[in-house]
Structure 1
Amino acid sequence: MDFRESLTMAVKTLTASKLRSGLTMLGIIIGNASVISMVGLGEGGRHYINEQLQSLGPNILFIVPGNRETRRLGGLEISRNLVLADANAIAEQVPSVIDVAAENTTPGLLSFLNRNANASVIGTNPAFITVRNFTIGQGRFITDLDLQRTSAVAVLGNSLAERLFEDQVPLGQSLRINNIAFEVVGVLELQGSNLGVNYDDAVIIPITTQASRIVGRTSPYGIEVSFISATARNADSMQTAEFQITNLLRLRHGIVNVEEDDFFIQNQDTLLSIADTITSALTLMLAAIASISLLVGGIGIMNIMLVSVRERTQEIGLRKAVGASQNDILIQFLIEAIILSAVGGAMGTFLGVSGISLLSLLTPFEASASISAIVVAVGVSGSIGLFFGVIPARQAAKLDPIVALRSI
């Protein structure tokens, strides 16, 4: 019996029991769809995180209070001696840096007429808009003069401005933050969220005004900041800037030993590398979990094929009696198993790609179907069909034709 005849017979046999064949393929369909969807979700998450980190600004460094060990242990007893004066010193004394922004974030209650909103109140300096690569949509940003005078001026995030002022023009309006009047001087373009802060739903004020009117002086060393962000002159200056900032802050804070550091510096490249490592591990874990359903689907194929061998004992006996060899019977059942897994794999691939497309439409993740994931999923499903089809195929091939014919 040639291959074409075996293939034709296998197709006829499977289509004769459509419901059973469909249920047999279900495990493979779900497995393929799960693997492709999970890998696509992981890739979408990786792209999303990378975009968020890159949107922080080019060639950016973050100086954060507390040393790495303290942060690793959960942020307990983090020192509070990173202050505005440190940011000013970096801007003035580090030649490899072009802009420095200090930032301190506190919660606040905002009100305008009869409308109220809880939002993040961000105290910062004028360089913030440049360092963070933000854009002003209306009005202006805070200035050095606002900092010097501790002016009660505010720049609103785009979504917050729409919530509080609706159809009214926010510029020049009086807004109350924690019951203190501020004049709205600007509105940001849509920015999205990063570093855990949604800047579209935040209000930005001079950091000196925040310290004197909103939170008060919380550090004995000056105006406390949550972190400092600095822009290096170019990508090649990143390591130089990190080295110079480290030496300057150790000198200012009186630190002699590295173990005594009360700050640490994180650059954008390191953050991207960490994010890639984490998301790649999560993607692999999700794919491994989803692959379990492929194994279950393979076991389902084996079980159904074993049942099929029992039901088709007479057919096998007749075929052997008229001259079919063991190899003919073996190939016949192997083809049936491979068809089940291959068709299930194709249907699962279509379902997985459709799920990824739907995910991209409904979420901010730009998920995409990975060609490698599709190839691997289909290849694995086909291999599973071949592997789990071998046992029932060999059992069928070894049937004694005399014993099989006696059951007629």
Structure 2
Amino acid sequence: MDIIESFHMAFTTLKANKMRSTLTMLGIIIGNASVIATLGVGEGARRFVESQVNSLGTNLLFVVSGSPKAQRRPVFPPQTLVLEDARAIAEQVPSVKAVAPQLNATERVNYRSKNISTLLYGTTPEVLVVRNFDVGSGRFFSDLDVKKNTAVVALGSDLADLLFEGKNPIGEQIRIKGVSFLVIGVMKPKGSTFGVNFDRLAFIPVTTLANRIVGQTSPYGLQVNFISVSVENLNNMEAAQFQIENLLRLRHKITDEDDFTVRNQQDLQQIMGSITGALTALLAAIAGISLLVGGIGIMNIMLVSVTERTKEIGLRKAIGASQNDILLQFTIEAVILSVLGGAIGTGIGVGGIFLIAQLTEFEAGISIVAIALATGVSGATGFIFGVLPAKQAAKLDPIVALRGA
């Protein structure tokens, strides 16, 4: 019996037992869909994290308070950075392009009857270069505003809409903790990064925030939460980091453990990428178990099928079908169920990826390798788990099979 006839008989048999065939494929369908969807979500998460890190700016170093050991503790490290540290970095590290210190505080912003809690972003004009912010209308505050502690504010686009409801806010006065601020600009939309909605921020001079809102809290100068540093080019990142660390050790008179940590943007991206990669691998392994379960299901159903079709096997062998013919047909049936289930599961998995992309911020990350791997594994699973039942069917004695039937 040739291969074409074996395929024809296998399709005929499977079509005659639609319910059994569907239930047999179910495990493979679920397994394939799970693996492809999981790997797709993982790829989407990787792209999302990469875009989030890149949206922070380009060629960035982040200087934060506390030693690397303190960063891993569940409590906040003491704030040891001051505004003069940022100025020293800008003046004394040659490979640095711009430096933007940052001081944050959460306060309520008032305009007439509107009262909105928001994050105050105290910084300097260099933040426009360092963090890729753009002014949509009006202007940003200047170095003179920082020097004079001027009560001016540039609003994020969402915050401006919430407070003024479409009205032009430029020139209007808002109040923050009892202090009147002049609105001088509205920022272009930037979106959210790592849970911070930059369109809901209120940008004010760092000196104004420290002296008129939160108060001075450090005897060594105007305290800041952290410092963002933009380096001239990617090749100078390691040199700039080394120079910044040495400069701050001299300024802080450090002889033992550092009271600050310098983070590289690339290191941050690698850390986040390794986390998402590990989670994806874990979820894919769990989903892969479904393929194994599906293969075992195929074997069980095929074994039952051998018992149910004992008479058919006996008749076929009695009229001349060889062991190889029986083995080939049962193997083909198992492979067909696996490949067809894999194809359906692939379609469901790809559809699930697009659905998740629509409902979340993740991009649709469809991996051709994942699809090929899942489909190939499902086909191999059907072949491997179909061989044992096929061999059992091929070894049946035709006389015993007819008599047992």
> TM bucket by the smaller chain?
over 0.9
- Is 1:276 the counterpart of 2:273? The answer is yes
**Which amino acid is 2:223 matched to?**
E
**Which amino acid is 2:231 matched to?**
A
- Is 1:352 the counterpart of 2:349? The answer is yes
Who is 1:87 aligned against?
Answer: 86
Other structure's SS at 1:150 match = coil
In structure 2, C-alpha distance between the alignment counterparts of 1:277 and 1:348, rounded to whole Å = 28
Q: Which moved more, 1:40-49 or 1:265-274?
A: 265-274
**Which amino acid is 1:4 matched to?**
I
Percent sequence identity over aligned pairs:
57
In structure 2, C-alpha distance between the alignment counterparts of 1:222 and 1:245, rounded to whole Å = 19
Who is 1:217 aligned against?
Answer: 216
Q: Which moved more, 1:91-100 or 1:359-368?
A: 359-368
Q: Which moved more, 1:2-11 or 1:389-398?
A: 389-398
Structure 1 residues 130 and 37, CA gap change in structure 2 (3 angstroms):
same
Other structure's SS at 1:116 match = strand
Other structure's SS at 2:186 match = strand
Deviations 1:147-198 (A, max 9, x none): 1111111111111111111121111111122232211111111111225422
In structure 2, C-alpha distance between the alignment counterparts of 1:149 and 1:73, rounded to whole Å = 38
- Is 1:295 the counterpart of 2:292? The answer is yes
Deviations 1:47-94 (A, max 9, x none): 1111111111111111011011111233x3612111111001111111
In structure 1, C-alpha distance between the alignment counterparts of 2:315 and 2:374, rounded to whole Å = 38
Who is 2:140 aligned against?
Answer: 141
- Is 1:20 the counterpart of 2:20? The answer is yes
Give the superposition deviation at 1:233.
Answer: 1.4
Deviations 1:120-163 (A, max 9, x none): 11111111111001111111111111111111111111111111
Who is 2:103 aligned against?
Answer: 104
Other structure's SS at 1:291 match = helix
**Which amino acid is 1:368 matched to?**
G
- Is 1:161 the counterpart of 2:160? The answer is yes
Count of residues in Structure 1 that have an aligned counterpart in Structure 2:
405
> What is the correspondence of 1:5-404 to structure 2 with a 5 Å cutoff?
5-74=5-74, 76=75, 78-257=77-256, 260-404=257-401
In structure 1, C-alpha distance between the alignment counterparts of 2:308 and 2:177, rounded to whole Å = 79
Q: Unpaired runs of 5+ in structure 1? A: none
**Which amino acid is 2:206 matched to?**
I
Other structure's SS at 1:385 match = helix
Other structure's SS at 2:380 match = helix
Do 1:45 and 1:367's aligned partners in 2 also have CA atoms closer than 8 Å? no
Other structure's SS at 2:305 match = helix
Task: Give the TM-score taking structure 1 as reference length.
Answer: 0.97
Give the superposition deviation at 1:102.
Answer: 0.3
In structure 1, C-alpha distance between the alignment counterparts of 2:31 and 2:194, rounded to whole Å = 36
In structure 1, C-alpha distance between the alignment counterparts of 2:379 and 2:170, rounded to whole Å = 64
Deviations 1:216-246 (A, max 9, x none): 1122211111110111111111111111111
**After TM superposition, where is structure 1 displaced by more than 4 Å over at least 4 residues in a row?**
none
Q: Which moved more, 1:166-175 or 1:374-383?
A: 166-175
In structure 2, C-alpha distance between the alignment counterparts of 1:381 and 1:322, rounded to whole Å = 34
In structure 2, C-alpha distance between the alignment counterparts of 1:254 and 1:177, rounded to whole Å = 37
Structure 1 residues 286 and 77, CA gap change in structure 2 (3 angstroms):
closer
Structure 1 residues 375 and 127, CA gap change in structure 2 (3 angstroms):
same
In structure 1, C-alpha distance between the alignment counterparts of 2:12 and 2:292, rounded to whole Å = 26
**Which amino acid is 2:179 matched to?**
I
Give the superposition deviation at 1:112.
Answer: 1.3
Do 1:63 and 1:228's aligned partners in 2 also have CA atoms closer than 8 Å? yes
In structure 1, C-alpha distance between the alignment counterparts of 2:66 and 2:378, rounded to whole Å = 50
Give the superposition deviation at 1:358.
Answer: 2.1
Deviations 1:271-328 (A, max 9, x none): 1221221221111112111111111211111111111111100001111111111111
Other structure's SS at 2:255 match = coil
